[in-house]
Structure formats: structure tokens, C-alpha cells
Structure 1
Amino acid sequence: MPRGDKSAYTDKQERKADHIAEGYEDRGVSEKEAERRAWATVNKDDGGGKKSGAGRGKDTGHPAAHKGGEKGGEAAASRSAAERSASAKKGAATRKRNAESHASR
């Protein structure tokens, strides 16, 4: 099987890769790089394309899907209390302003 051949992947894996790639593209990553990252994520999650034969499909636990929370605290932890407070106030003001503009419609 040549490199890049996706015939061994299931329909679900292909849908998953498409969805992941869309997310990267929405965040400004080029289409080619988004595709590469998406398939790398599917491979990490599922151990690559599915092989034929009984008992070969094992539950993966979806490790890549659990990484989201890891990145969350890093930015806040590296900022001072005053910076975090200012950011929170700014966000609250924005939400209030948006709520007022949407309520008048």
C-alpha cells in the first residue's frame, strides 16, 4: 500500500479526519497542513487504519480528544492577578454590551 493511501481507514475515521481538518482550517491553518494534522490525530486516536480480521478492533480511549483541558490553564497561570482581573472585567463589559444590543432587536 503506497504512502498516503487511505483505503484502510473506515468511513467513521474519514469523517473524523474531515471534521478535525475543518476545525484547523477555521483557525487559519492551511488546507494541506490541516489535513496532515487531522490524519495524525486519527492515527494517534485509533492506531491507524483498521486491518481486517476478528479481534483486531480495540477500544482506543480517544487520547487526542482528551487534550483540550491541558492547554486551558497555561495562559491564565502565567499572568498576574491584576491582568486576569482586568481581562475578566473587559469580558464582562463585552458580554453586557452584546446582551444589550441583542435585546433591542
Structure 2
Amino acid sequence: MPAGSSKKREQQYEHIKEGAKERGTSEGRAEEIAARTVNKERARSGEAKQASKTSLRDPKSASQRGGERSHKGPQSPTKDQLYEEAKKKNLGGRSHMNKEELRKALGR
């Protein structure tokens, strides 16, 4: 935590860190997640001296988002996976297609 941070932010940091560790995140990664989240909240509320553009423009705070962007849902197939599927279906021109084109050609 940055020097001079409030008791509330210190508690928030510990809460986020412990939650991440309970979900199986390593100690270092949990600390990083907690620090980034708290620093973003500090920036949004005007407590920090500097703030990134994304911290200020993001319509939802991290706590409001509730893990929306945590990438825990089903992930889309990689370009290589799509290419292999196109190869099995014998789609012509697949070697020149990008990921989006492969997805459309496969009807996904």
C-alpha cells in the first residue's frame, strides 16, 4: 500500500488479497491484484496524485464490476484451433484467413 493511504483502503487491500488467495491465486499475484484494484479505486475517488485515463474513464469501478472481466467464462477457440477445424472440414483458402474469417467460415 502507498504511504499515507487510509485505513479503509488498507482494509480493502487485505480483503481483496485474502479473497484472491482463497481462490488459489499465488501470494504475489494476490498482492498485485489487490494493489491494482485499490489504486484504481483511489484514483477514481481523487485520493491519488495521478490517475491513468482508463482508471477515470471506466464506467464501473472494480467492486461494481464484480469480476465481470476475470475471464472465467468459456474462452473462444484460438486461431490454431479454428484452423485445425477448418482443415478437417476441408475449407478452401483457410491458410489466408484470420481468426475472425475462420470463425465466420465455420459458422461460429
Interval of TM-score (by shorter of Structure 1 and Structure 2): 0.3 to 0.5
Normalised by the size of structure 2, how large is the TM-score? 0.46
Tell me which of the two structures has the higher relative contact order, counting C-alpha pairs closer than 8 angstroms and 6 or more residues apart. Answer: 1
Normalised by the size of structure 1, how large is the TM-score? 0.47
Structure ranking higher in helix proportion: 1
